[in-house]
Structure 1
Amino acid sequence: MSAQQMPSPLAGAQWIWAPNIDDKAETPSQFVLFRRALRLDGPLPPSCIVHVSADTRYRLFVNGNRASFGPCKSYPARWYYETVDIGPFLKTGVNVLAVRVLRLSPETSSATSIMRTSKPGMILHCTAGNIIIHSDESWKTYRDGSVHLVPNADWDFRLGPPFVSLWERADGRLKPHGWLDASFDDTKWHNAVPSTMAAKMAPILDSRKLIPRSIPALPEIPSTFDGVVCCAGGPTKTEWEALLDGGKPIHIEPQSTVTVDIESNELTTGFFELSLDQDGQGSATITILAAECYEGDMDQGVARSKGDRTNSQHGKLYGPADTYISHPGRNDYSPFWWRAFRYLRLTITPTTSPLTLRSFRYRATHYPLPITTTLTATTPSPHFTKLSHLWQVSVTTLRNCMHETFEDCPYYEQNQFAMDARLQMLFSYALSSDGRLARKTICEFAASRRDDGLLEAQFPCAPCRMTGIPAFSLYWVLMVRDHWVQFGDRGLVRESFGVVDGVLEYFARLVRVGDGLVGRLEAEGEEEASWAFVDWVGEWKTPAEGFKGMAVPPAYFKCGAATVHSLLYAIALQSAAELADCTGRGCVADEYRSRAAELNSAVRRHCFDPETGLFTDGPGSKDRSQHAQVLAVLSGAASAEEAPVLMRRAVVERERHGIARTSLAMAFYVFRAASLAGVYEELWDDMIKPWEVMLSQNLTTWAEFETNPRSDCHGWSATPIYEIVREIVGVKLPEGDIDGAVVIQPRVKMVPALKGSFVAGGGRVLDISWSGGSLCLTSSVDMVVELRLGKGSRLFALERDLSLQTSLDAIDME
């Protein structure tokens, strides 16, 4: 029987839910609990496999132990279930399977990155020896009214829009204590009811197509905080540090208000855990505010500003907060969803009885990317120290933006955007041979295809549709090409090719007859204009267009076309031509290259100013940007002779020529154009300045923008990972066939001595070191390497685990 013919491991299980629960906008979120007792007599089974999923999110417990968290972010046609062996948690006698479900209503915009359907539910199948347990009406269920999500109306809009909306108000006094235990009396709970759209004699299928989770489970690693910044109202800093370090209890007297600011050495993501004892019959209110940094005082109406992120003397902590009200006895509180933070502020306001804090720690969680690439100094030097710092902050940034999807920022949005994800995938390829999350991302965006051929800019996402950004679909085409170059997955290319063609055809329809440029980014008859987003450039604002006038070159509205859209379309066509070649579609590849050449010619005719030697932002426009010069170099609209001059003017002479600068969102492409133009090392100091400024401000992750002070951790800013691996160490993937020669083109003048292990695509790893004019290579597999230096190059055949040493001087020749 083939895999496609195998019965589902959840066959026989029902989607179930609690009876009489409203699922409308008036109750945008609610927690529902499920319990099922399982008696095991005699020898315990060696394993016990559970398959489980829910709509919207669940946490599975077995005898009080956390066993699974999911389902992995998805969409209805690919609704994931988790498979977990709960054997280690079982015991002889009565066992309890318990599931806590957070249901998000489809009628609310809360948690925009989490999909939900019109029907709530939980589904589970368990096999324990000869015992089979399905989710059905025998399960007991209860609506947990002790926890509510903070409504968007209470969000601090000085921080920006509320996208995550998963902060909690929890009242321990209302919690069904002990519900995870076998001894708990659930006789007053309701029996579950089926939750399905199926009808008698009607072949109606569930809107959720259950499939196995395609990426590994996210670990939850026990972690401790790194220190106390300041405190007031009772316990001393030393006492707080003793609590964090060794769990030495802290006693808080009645009628006192206590605050403490706790820090992590670097911004991270995780579930905090608070454990305390409430003496007597009183209660305490504990507020846990999560913040990325200390920042300027906004309380007097001053605009938001950030400088030194560690300046606790003059700065303040701003951010959303969880609130917990304690009950008499033992209290344990942890939020359902993970938090992003560098600092946490605890504020405790007890009533009439004393309080004892037992512990405060967290469980760190990120996508478990196995990082193979390492970086070490053979000889300490200022050059390497600088690179090492850039490297560590970049890796931390990327890790915090990888969970079940690639996230733009973990603190504010947790959304997966195509433009952002393309860069994050490239950065992950430079670190690891694990392409599972990247492949999932490509397939998700492909599944979001609209009837006009475009993809959703953000996906997966809640039922509320976000603003369309046509250009992001072009980044997805580049994403498919990147994955092909990294892994040689021709099957994925074939699966994606129809979607690629649909994206390109959308833009083909927008090419204007008169000048051959891509015009306005909306099809005729569209009710609402698309957002012609390019980049968050401060000068790019057209107030008359409202929100959609931001991040768009003003020339787009003045001239009806923006140069960057034509150039980006040309680059996507060139990448698609490579995909066509690798799948044997030579005629299609020729067509794509011809279209790209026509676009480049049109840009030169209508958007190139011969007087200044610069590309303008639109036909007839006088506006100029780095974006137009950079994309002209990358697309080939600028000749090889023009490219170095363009890049010098765009980077070093930018202000003199009135050229708008890219934000961190598109800085990656500035590096790429500088490399292609042969002026990378010449322009390095100018290009890397924004990251040096962030280091001087004590960031531990890279910010979203240089000037806009919103997020301190954003995946698109982890560019130094790529620059160090692909440009400075110079490990470039095979050109053409995935099994071709790996190119190594080290920039030894930038770093005189260096060593490390580096991912080279196709599962290959290279150990590389150089110092004192010699270079040493060791490969994990037999492979061919082309070493380039200066104007010289030489091919070497590397045998597995054997080192090859060569003089760098012998390569640097005509």
Structure 2
Amino acid sequence: MAGRQWSAQWIWGGEEVSPRNEWRCFRKTFHVPEGGENGARLHISADSRYVLFVNGERAGRGPVRSWPAEQFYDTYDIGRLLKPGRTNAIAVLVLHFGVANFYYIRGRGGLLAELEGGGRTGTLAATDGSWRTSRLAAQDPRSPRMSCQQGFADIYDARKWDERWTEADYDDADWPLANIVGPVGSGPWKKLVPRDIPFLTEETVYPSRVASLQAVKPPKWAAALDVRNGMLPDSADHADRVKYAGFLATVLTMRESGKLTLGFPNGRVSSVWVDGRLCGGWYGDQPERYCDLELAAGDHFVLIDVSGGDHGGSFHIAADSGSEFVLRSPAAAAAGNDTPFAIVGPFHYTIDIDHQGVEPLDLEQPDYVRAKGIKHERDLESFREWVRPLPGGMYSEDDVFGSNVWRTAAVSYAVPPELDRCVQASPEPAVVPRFDGMDTELVIDFGKEWSGFIGFEAEAPEGTVIDLYGLEYMKDDYRQHTYGLDNTIRYICRGGRQQYISPVRRGFRYLVVTIRQASAPVRLHRVFVNQSAYPVAQNGYFRCSDALLNDIWEISRHTTLLCMEDTFVDCPSYEQVFWVGDSRNEALVNYYVFGALDIVKRCLNLVPGSGEMTPLYVDQVPSAWNSVIPNWTFFWVTACAEYAAHTGDRAFAARIWPAVRHTLTHYLRHVGERGLLDIKGWNLLDWAPIDQPNDGIVTHQNMFLAKALRDAAGLAAAAGVPQEAAPLAERADALRKAIDGQLWDEERQAYIDCIHADGRRSATFSMQTQVVAYLCDIAEGKRKERLEGYLVAPPASFVQIGSPFMSFFYYEALVRSGQYDRMIADIRHSYGMMIENGATTCWEMYPNFSENRANPNQLTRSHCHAWSAAPGYFLGAVVLGIRRLDDGWKRAAVAPEPCGLQWARGAVPLPQGGRIEVSWRIDGGRMELHVSAPDDVELDIRIPDGLSGSVTRSATRPSPLAAAAGMTP
């Protein structure tokens, strides 16, 4: 299939090559002869995302994330949807981002589709100039950016569109013909490759309850702005962090004198001047900021300093007053401006590419300093070269996020039982209460975190506004707003019964549904999410005599599932980004819980695609953010070696080896005269105050490089180039000696965190560095013994572990040192705290992380983060004792560690099919151990020291499919 010949051409429509946030529809009708449906297959790809319909039925979504040089396409068997002897229709909704982000490289709008009929029918339809296209008029392209990592929120006005457009009998005669972009190989998509993983699932999940009912009011005016792209238009082409010095300016007209509150529901504001007077008296819990102003009737010039770093996302601003007011563009930018804001600047800007260093932002630039004194819109004339309108596409007054964060009034009511009908998909709808002069807000609890496509069905009068906002965490009256993520939908109803399913993926647990501007009661039939994830079977499982550990294993499993999309992702809500370093640990958990292989291989294969950006490989792919975390590349090297060893796939090792060798060669060029890695970059390991500067010799980074070199040597042997292994092992040993010789502090009996670029030795000592030293075999003799002591009794003066991600490495070190009880105790404490606080998934951070300290209710940022799912791996590897001893699991150990438990049972899936199942129970000092495994897997079974007992083994035959594929040991 990779070399298939295409008759289809890339097509697009409209006047813009890469329009911002455009949803564009394409249609083609065609005849299917009798028998032509049998075996019919549709091949399709698009830039950026598509939703496919065949004769009105949704048939698929895609494509998977790609580097443009290797654009993936999907193939669907759609014969069951075709109607022989009749007119058929293919309809495709293409969502084109038009801006770069953390999972998309900006290309241009495009659709490619080709339908092959069954038998000898030939091509039934292929994209060309005969296809019809129209922008989806219901979608507002001015909707807010969700975040710097993602695309856009939904604003959808159902009054402006005929939902029958996907059906065969729809009349598209007034739609324009599509434009031909070019044949396969043209445009940014240099090569087409077939999808390398199965299609994702889509399962309808309903909520568990209506958690609250309130009458609410939003501020009178709220808006979301894209200041980054407005200030620096070229920043739409990349996702690098920018810094700029500049302002927003507007004229606020009060109809009469009165109080006005100016609010910034998502922070990101430093100084605001009204008529030249600096606003003071700010209040509100960070990052929300509010200021009360007493304003006379008439015009008031507002100048907002927006200087600083900006990665992307929406700038939220709102105002509320008992008096009427309006905003307009200052005269200097009013000509042709359809927004009330002008941009003033940038007076200076920088682009921050992590591994290259960054020029500091100049906030002493004379014209910028002078602009702070602007008191009136006429004063802008002297800054005309810096003044321009904020483009209309970067401004929206449909700010659902701002209107949820800042509710100017909220009155709670008991939830009537009838409202639960909307969460039960009852044949009888729930009638939503109405409140005079206020909107109706329902908080709907889905019981646990989910990831997918939000939908609802309702009967409503025309013009009713239904807002939806996804949250991850609530407790009593506290709501943890998704600051930095606009996780919202606004839907404006046509009259009557209607259904909407957002084509944008979202992660959430709680859905805030707000009914606004309803002229008659709204009947809510159902609210749901089409849960979407990588298709897996739960081949692994774990149960034991400790109910808390069972709950912890389950949240680890559920977290991992929600973070398996077309790649592993860090979280389903804030980012949905494939972070390379995170995925190494996620892969290990997956091996023990689900046993999926294709997703791991796909993730590993995607990483070298960033080689055109930097030979050091970027830390999230495919991404338009040119950011390097060296450790993340080192973890990728380790993950490649672990995948080859887990599967016994030597062909994979041979294919990936050149890319591994390439990046390590370039990293070794940064080893300086000291014999240590000395590099500029985002030298991250943990969200904790360890000393890990972005320039200099970072100890943990050197240690992980040493480990990566050793792992690469093993990979080279598996790849069939053993002659390349020895030099890597030698470099690893030299690096180990340099670390041990120069980064150990004899007085503190520990490794320092770093040596700064100016040669200054760090005064910081952290558990992170000691854990990594032990895990990477840096220390020997007495020093190693000292580190083993630290693992069991971490010194209080050391920086402590700050994230479950770092705990994964800590647990690896504890297992290596045989401290199993200590590991289980830490799991109970750290993850038990999550369970105690109602967690259904694993948190990104621990509550003591500095970002959480400003608000004691905020326990973590992301409540679903797969880098934190360590128990899913370690409970199977330690308590069940199931571990691989040889490549491809030809040999395995079953050596349980009871850790005070009375019994445990579970299973770990094998890459060649089947699984190893273990069940044990202790009665007095005796263990009864039962093991089941394929009979071609050699097992080393051991009763724990200090116990007597018996072992029973049962055997299964190897998987016939694995045998046919040559995967059996």
TM range (shorter): 0.7 to 0.9
2:592 aligns with one of 412, 430, 438: 430
Residue identity matched to 1:518: L
8 Å Cα contact 1:34-1:141 kept in structure 2:
yes
Match of 2:930 in 1: 776
8 Å Cα contact 1:283-1:353 kept in structure 2:
no
8 Å Cα contact 1:442-1:480 kept in structure 2:
yes
* Equivalent runs, 1:519-668 vs 2, <5 Å: 519=678, 521-522=679-680, 530-537=681-688, 539-540=689-690, 553-554=692-693, 560-619=696-755, 620-639=761-780, 642-650=783-791, 652-655=793-796, 657-668=797-808
Whole-Å separation in 1 of the counterparts to 2:889 and 2:875: 23
2:901 aligns with one of 739, 751, 766: 751
Residue identity matched to 2:534: Y
SS of the aligned residue for 1:449 comes to helix
2:560 aligns with one of 394, 398, 406: 398
Are residues 1:258 and 2:440 paired?
yes
Change over 3 Å in CA distance of 1:178–1:762 after alignment to 2: closer
Match of 2:477 in 1: 313
Residue identity matched to 1:443: N
Match of 1:78 in 2: 70
Q: Which shows bigger deviation, 644-653 or 343-352?
A: 644-653
Residue identity matched to 1:425: A
1:244 aligns with one of 418, 423, 436: 423
8 Å Cα contact 1:273-1:361 kept in structure 2:
yes
Match of 2:467 in 1: 287
Whole-Å separation in 2 of the counterparts to 1:654 and 1:688: 20
* Equivalent runs, 1:146-165 vs 2, <5 Å: 146-148=138-140, 151-152=143-144, 162-165=148-151
Deviation at 1:453, TM superposition (A): 2.7
1:496 aligns with one of 652, 656, 664: 656
2:572 aligns with one of 407, 410, 421: 410
* Equivalent runs, 1:328-407 vs 2, <5 Å: 328-377=495-544, 381=545, 383=546, 385-407=547-569
1:214 aligns with one of 174, 196, 201: 196
Deviation at 1:466, TM superposition (A): 3.3
Measured against aligned partners, the alpha-carbon deviations of 1:92-114 in whole angstroms (never above 9, x if no partner) come to: 52222111111121xx23x5313
Q: RMSD across aligned C-alpha pairs, in angstroms?
A: 2.8
Whole-Å separation in 1 of the counterparts to 2:550 and 2:44: 43
Match of 2:158 in 1: 172
Whole-Å separation in 1 of the counterparts to 2:737 and 2:892: 33
Whole-Å separation in 1 of the counterparts to 2:840 and 2:752: 37
Match of 1:800 in 2: 955
Change over 3 Å in CA distance of 1:799–1:392 after alignment to 2: closer
Measured against aligned partners, the alpha-carbon deviations of 1:752-775 in whole angstroms (never above 9, x if no partner) come to: 311222224543511211113121
Change over 3 Å in CA distance of 1:254–1:746 after alignment to 2: closer
Whole-Å separation in 2 of the counterparts to 1:761 and 1:332: 42
Percent of residue pairs bearing the same amino acid type: 25
Whole-Å separation in 1 of the counterparts to 2:932 and 2:432: 60
2:837 aligns with one of 685, 697, 708: 697
8 Å Cα contact 2:45-2:72 kept in structure 1:
yes
SS of the aligned residue for 2:477 comes to coil
8 Å Cα contact 1:150-1:168 kept in structure 2:
no
Deviation at 1:388, TM superposition (A): 0.7
Match of 1:33 in 2: 25
8 Å Cα contact 2:460-2:494 kept in structure 1:
yes
Match of 1:300 in 2: none
SS of the aligned residue for 1:28 comes to coil
Whole-Å separation in 1 of the counterparts to 2:865 and 2:594: 20
2:878 aligns with one of 702, 724, 727: 727
Measured against aligned partners, the alpha-carbon deviations of 1:301-324 in whole angstroms (never above 9, x if no partner) come to: xxxxxxxxxx23344655631100
2:54 aligns with one of 62, 66, 88: 62
8 Å Cα contact 2:889-2:910 kept in structure 1:
no
Are residues 1:16 and 2:171 paired?
no
Q: Which shows bigger deviation, 740-749 or 44-53?
A: 44-53
Whole-Å separation in 2 of the counterparts to 1:100 and 1:765: 42
Q: Which shows bigger deviation, 84-93 or 669-678?
A: 84-93
Change over 3 Å in CA distance of 1:259–1:615 after alignment to 2: same
Measured against aligned partners, the alpha-carbon deviations of 1:616-658 in whole angstroms (never above 9, x if no partner) come to: 1135433211222112112221126543531432552331x43
* Equivalent runs, 1:754-769 vs 2, <5 Å: 754-769=904-919
Deviation at 1:352, TM superposition (A): 3.0
Match of 2:4 in 1: 7
Q: Which shows bigger deviation, 681-690 or 68-77?
A: 681-690
Whole-Å separation in 2 of the counterparts to 1:740 and 1:747: 22
Match of 2:176 in 1: 190
SS of the aligned residue for 1:414 comes to coil
Change over 3 Å in CA distance of 1:331–1:21 after alignment to 2: farther
Residue identity matched to 1:275: E
Whole-Å separation in 2 of the counterparts to 1:640 and 1:78: 50
**Structure 2 stretches lacking a partner, 5+ long:** 216-412, 756-760, 852-859, 958-969
Residue identity matched to 1:607: L
**Structure 1 stretches lacking a partner, 5+ long:** 156-160, 295-310, 523-529, 541-551, 803-814
SS of the aligned residue for 2:571 comes to coil
Match of 1:469 in 2: 629
Whole-Å separation in 2 of the counterparts to 1:314 and 1:118: 42
Match of 1:112 in 2: 102
Q: Which shows bigger deviation, 257-266 or 793-802?
A: 793-802
SS of the aligned residue for 2:60 comes to strand
Residue identity matched to 2:555: V
SS of the aligned residue for 1:388 comes to helix
SS of the aligned residue for 1:148 comes to coil
Whole-Å separation in 2 of the counterparts to 1:88 and 1:683: 53
Match of 1:229 in 2: 211
TM-score (norm 2): 0.71
8 Å Cα contact 1:267-1:701 kept in structure 2:
yes
Whole-Å separation in 1 of the counterparts to 2:640 and 2:528: 40
Match of 1:301 in 2: none
1:124 aligns with one of 114, 121, 125: 114
Are residues 1:268 and 2:450 paired?
yes
Whole-Å separation in 2 of the counterparts to 1:237 and 1:436: 48
SS of the aligned residue for 1:182 comes to coil
8 Å Cα contact 1:536-1:665 kept in structure 2:
no
Change over 3 Å in CA distance of 1:150–1:713 after alignment to 2: farther
Deviation at 1:581, TM superposition (A): 2.2
Deviation at 1:149, TM superposition (A): 5.1
Q: Which shows bigger deviation, 354-363 or 248-257?
A: 248-257
Whole-Å separation in 2 of the counterparts to 1:391 and 1:264: 20
Deviation at 1:472, TM superposition (A): 1.6
Greater strand share, 1 or 2? Answer: 2
Q: Which shows bigger deviation, 80-89 or 116-125?
A: 116-125
SS of the aligned residue for 1:283 comes to coil
Change over 3 Å in CA distance of 1:731–1:76 after alignment to 2: same
Change over 3 Å in CA distance of 1:38–1:781 after alignment to 2: farther
